[in-house]
Amino acid sequence: MQTENPGGEAPKIDTSVPHPARRYDYWLGGKDNFAADRESGDAIAAKFPGIRTAVVENRRLLRRAVTHLAGEAGIRQFLDIGTGLPTANNTHEVAQLIAPESRIVYVDNDPLVLAHARALLTSSAEGRTAYLDADVRRPEAILKSREVADTLDLSRPVALLLFAVLHFVTDDEDPYGVVKRLVAALPPGSWLVMSHATADWLPPEAAAMIQSGKHGAGRLRDRDEFARFFDGLDLAEPGVVPLAEWRAEGEPPPAAEVSMYAAAGRIR
């Protein structure tokens, strides 16, 4: 596996500022988080008690989506942006269980994720896994990276995974342009799969807390705003739905308990 650290220096971790990947780890019951992450996580949970259900369901969605892509859709390449700290059922584990030759590039911008990626994100002998330290807000830097060039063949279909990451991109950071530029670099037959937090089921005070600069997402988006990311793509069944309902296995929790949307679209 390859990793990237453009400056060549050991990554610096600011433990005084909460980071989405480490806060997510805390909600999942992990140990790779700091006091600031736990404080922020508890503040959000106080306003939105379903947050722990939401992050668990988001991981379950990843497993279902990657299973569909590697199985039914026949995808063998994955670009997972905003991967977070390694945990059970990472993208390469799910994909390579179905197709050992699958190739995956993980992208995140937390130094702690980078440190763990070196040790934990391994690959099958037939496939390949790489990690890139980069930010989704700079899609060209991702697409032109050595990691992508050495691992993925962009002339062949790729699954672009954006799980629970675009709600950290504010409107003035051009989230639709970011996704459009990533999608434009992929050939027909590729896929975009996304999950995204919403305020559609949240009390106003909870939405305000989650969207605050200190504690949460930069921008919660409603169903129409989320669906706009898939303009021009062919949506897979069941379309744009509450996250836990996307190809659910068993009875999903109520939409209000998760408060996220999910969808998968095929690039024409």
From the CB of residue 144, how many other CB atoms can be counted at a distance below 10 Å?
A: 11
pLDDT lower than 70: segments of the chain:
1-11, 118-120, 213-217
Question: Under a CB-based contact definition with an 8 Å cutoff, are residues 260 and 210 in contact?
Answer: no
- Residue spans of the domains in the chain: they are 20-266
- Label residue 234 exposed, middle or buried (CB < 10 Å: 0-12, 13-18, 19+): exposed
pLDDT for position 130: 94
CA atoms within 13 A on the CB side of 238: 10
Report how far residue 266's alpha carbon sits from residue 127's, in angstroms, rounded to the nearest whole number.
23
Res 215: pLDDT? 64
Give residue 9's pLDDT.
52
What's residue 118's pLDDT? Answer: 67
pLDDT at 4: 45
CA angle 94, 104, 160 (to 5 degrees): 90
- pLDDT of 216: 59
Residue 66: the pLDDT is 98
**Per-residue model confidence (pLDDT) at position 7:** 41
Predicted TM-score of the model (pTM): 0.90
Instruction: Report the pLDDT value the prediction gives residue 5, as an integer from 0 to 100.
Output: 46
CATH number of 20-266: 3.40.50.150
Structure tokens at 267: 């690039």
